Amino acid sequence: METKSLSELREKYKSCTRCSELLNSRIQVVFGEGNSNAKVLFLGEAPGLSEAKQGVPFCGASGKVLTELLSSVGLSREEVFITNTLLCRPENNRNPEKEEVENCRERLDKVIEVMQPAVIVTIGNFATERILGKKGITSLRGKVFPTFIAGREVKVVPVIHPANYLYNGRNPEIFAQMKRDFEMIADVIDAKKKQKSLGEF
Ligand code: URA
């Protein structure tokens, strides 16, 4: 059962009209999926075509890789919450525009305020820049950034976007590195659980 305010946000942003260009080709808003009481938030870039059709984030090729990485460290999609920097698909999967990221800022801030995650995993450059204000995923990945968000400390962990691995012909070295980063994420989560700061997963 989704917490009242998260379902209110889902309802509110279902009909968002802030980005006129995204609106032109929009199939539907992809608000997010998972456990609405989760203390771990995964943040991607923007929905692709499969996601826009199904209304579910990371349900296409990148999503398969993400699910595999999660299960490799004993996590399931159902115990975390997954959303994106943009809720609407940019046509032909182009990069999000700065203005679109800004238009979607209030929504993500509100999701974070409601969920109060202890850990945010930023997937790829756009999500990482949105949360940390830093660029350069290759040097930022696999590190933990304790960050104050809405007055609370959140452990932010940037990871390589699965699309990067796919564009690189499923390079096994990239996958091995991503797996190590997910092992580190699992350790960060375990440490938080031990502090009893994570209510529900
Ligand atoms: N890539 C993303 O960044 N998000 C999705 O939901 C799917 C692919």
pLDDT in tens, 159-173: 999 999 999 999 999
Model pLDDT, residue 197 = 56
Which one, of 99, 103, 119, lies nearest residue 43 by Cα? Answer: 119
Q: Which of 58, 67, 130 to mutate to test the pocket of ligand 1 (most atoms within 8 A of CB)?
A: 58
**Residue bearing tokens 């809720």:** 87
**111-137 residue pLDDT tens:** 999 999 999 999 999 999 999 999 999
C-alpha 95 – ligand 1 centre gap (Å): 11
Confidence of residue 181 (pLDDT cuts 50, 70, 90): very high
| Interval 45-73: pLDDT, tens | 999 999 999 999 999 999 999 999 999 99
What's residue 194's pLDDT?
87
Whether residue 78 is predicted with pLDDT greater than 60 in this model: the reply is: yes
Percentage of residues of the chain with pLDDT beyond 90: 92
Distance 49 CA to ligand 1 centre (A): 9
- Site to probe by mutation for ligand 1, drawn from 28, 29, 53, 84 as the one with most ligand atoms within 8 Å of Cβ, is 84
pLDDT exceeds 80 at position 4: no
pLDDT at 153: 96
CA distance 178 to 159: 7
Q: How many CA atoms lie within 13 A of 4 on its CB side?
A: 0
Q: How far apart are the first and last CA of the chain?
A: 13
Report the chain's mean pLDDT, rounded to a whole number. 95
Q: In this predicted model, which residue has the larger pLDDT, 196 or 69?
A: 69
89-110 mean pLDDT: 98
- Within 6 A (CB) of ligand 1 lie 44-48, 51, 57-58, 60, 62-63, 84, 163
Q: Whose CA is nearest to atom 7 of ligand 1?
A: 58
Model confidence band, residue 77 (pLDDT cutoffs 50, 70, 90): very high
Six-digit token string for 32: 């997010």
